[in-house]
Amino acid sequence: MSMARRDTARTMLGASGLTVLGSISPFLLGAQAVLMQRDLGFGPARLGVAVSVFFGVAALATILGVGAFTRLGRRVGLVVAGGLVAIGGLLVATVVQGWWALALAMAVLGLANAACQGTANAAVATALPQRRRGLGFGIKQSAVPVAIMFGGLAVPTTTVLLGWRSTFVIIAVVGLVVALVGATRPAPRASATARQDNDPPPDRAPRGPLLLCGAAVTFASAAANFLGAYLASWAHDVGLTVEQAGLLLAVGSASSVLVRIAIGHRADRRYGGNLPVVAGMTLAGAVCLALLGAVPQIWAVLIFGFLAFAVGWSWPGLLLYAVARLGRDAPTQASSVVQAGAFLGGALGPALLGLVVSLLGFAVAWYVASASFVLSAVLVVAARRGFRHDLQTRPPAQPFGYGGGQEQPRYTTRPPDAPM
């Protein structure tokens, strides 16, 4: 394997591993919810709020720190991310004796997630070759269902043997290792491609379509994170054991990993046309969630729960890649808008839908989550129209292919100085 390919593979796997570490905590909480609720004395609504605290802090940190991890570099990012994961994990494992302490620990872990995701996104958007970034974002975002899979597998293994606190000890130890790896990395060399004072100003992505994508991923993430946080509890209510519900999360998450990698690899082989695929997948997720609520049977939970993960929650990497590709000279900042929307949806979804569960029951909550997916698809289509209009009216300096096509793009932007 050549040095370039080895560096590419290392970047992809490192970003994926860092994303798993940052995102696993709320899924450990969801998979072990029955046991943790019994020991700490809280109900479904407070479970949702705890998950929402995690994502809310992550969203706020991402919004306030847009571009911070690009400037600081991977070395500092690894130290900060790993250190915060270690602190948060140890808090849950040793200090938490009630819900308020759990919420505080989840806030620390949410801050750690923002650091993990920011560092990983910066690496994929800037360090990978252009024709490998679709696969890179697919592998990086496959880490989220891997985190759910590990959360599900923890229940019949580590949790049964050592208790739920032991799972947070494990992530704390891994976080400490990541921080140590970052601290011992060689200092980066000065970039030979640093921007000079006389260079033209960077070409930014259009704000309107970018914000539409952020709103779309907020609604989609709200529904998807409700699925990840509550499917195990719903499956248990329908008739599965705690261990069987955990295995359902693991199998569904594994299928989502494969689909995310496959569609990311396919995206690298065409010129755009990614946003319609994202819209179609969110609509498929809407159908699955509606059927989960409509058919409270074990067979329906197994089939539609699996498909909700495999199809309905396999779009995040493709959406991040599409936005980074359309982000022109600021791909990291463009992807940060989407990442912030994902965190915001993760904050709002479990809390609000958890409240719906408490007041109106699971079936209504699944319908509301399904509607959230539908609204996301509409916003993605609107964002696609905005991006295409911007490419036509404000073409980039270098020709840009878009609209799909494999051998050649369906459309190519005109030179900026050409008459319209």
Q: What is the model's pLDDT at position 219?
A: 96
Write the class of the CATH domain 10-184+206-406. mainly alpha
Pairwise CA distance, residues 177 & 187, whole Å: 18
Q: What is the model's pLDDT at position 190?
A: 47
Nearest in space to 277 (alpha carbons), one of 381, 134, 161, 147: 381
Pairwise CA distance, residues 416 & 264, whole Å: 30
Q: Give, as one character, the DSSP assignment of residue 199.
A: S
Pairwise CA distance, residues 295 & 234, whole Å: 12
- Long-range contact pairs involving 9-14 (C-beta distance under 8 Å, separation at least 24): 11/123, 11/124, 11/127, 11/128, 11/136, 12/124, 12/128, 12/132, 12/135, 12/136, 12/139, 12/140, 13/139, 14/120, 14/123
Q: Give, as one character, the DSSP assignment of residue 93.
A: I
Q: What is the model's pLDDT at position 288?
A: 95
Q: What is the model's pLDDT at position 6?
A: 73
Nearest in space to 113 (alpha carbons), one of 253, 273, 260, 221: 221
Dmax (CA) of the chain:
71
Domain boundaries, the chain: 10-184+206-406
Nearest in space to 30 (alpha carbons), one of 43, 47, 45, 46: 47
Nearest in space to 366 (alpha carbons), one of 300, 319, 310: 300
Q: Residue 101's Cα: distance from chain center in Å? A: 25
Pairwise CA distance, residues 165 & 90, whole Å: 9
Pairwise CA distance, residues 219 & 383, whole Å: 14
One-letter-per-residue 3-state SS of 232-297: HHHHHHHCCCHHHHHHHHHHHHHHHHHHHHHHHHHHCCCCCCCHHHHHHHHHHHHHHHHHHHHCCC
Contacts of residue 381, Cβ cutoff 8 Å, sequence gap at least 6: 275, 276, 279
| pLDDT tens track, the chain, 420 positions | 566 677 777 777 788 888 888 888 888 887 788 888 888 888 777 887 888 888 888 888 887 776 565 566 667 888 888 899 999 999 999 988 888 999 999 999 999 998 888 888 777 777 777 677 777 877 877 777 777 777 777 777 888 788 889 889 998 999 999 888 888 876 655 444 444 545 555 677 788 999 999 999 999 999 998 888 788 888 888 888 877 887 888 788 888 888 998 898 888 888 888 999 999 999 999 999 999 999 989 999 999 999 999 999 889 889 988 888 887 767 777 778 888 888 888 778 877 888 898 889 889 999 999 999 999 999 999 999 999 998 888 888 788 888 888 878 888 888 776 665
Give the pair of three-digit tokens for residue 6: 């080895």
Q: Give, as one character, the DSSP assignment of residue 94.
A: I
Q: What is the model's pLDDT at position 193?
A: 43
Give the pair of three-digit tokens for residue 264: 């990311």
Q: What is the model's pLDDT at position 194?
A: 46
Q: What is the number of H-type helices and E-type strands within the chain?
A: 17, 2
Q: What is the model's pLDDT at position 304?
A: 94
Ranges of beta strands (E only) in 343-399 are: none
Q: What is the model's pLDDT at position 287?
A: 96
Q: What is the model's pLDDT at position 104?
A: 93
Pairwise CA distance, residues 86 & 67, whole Å: 24
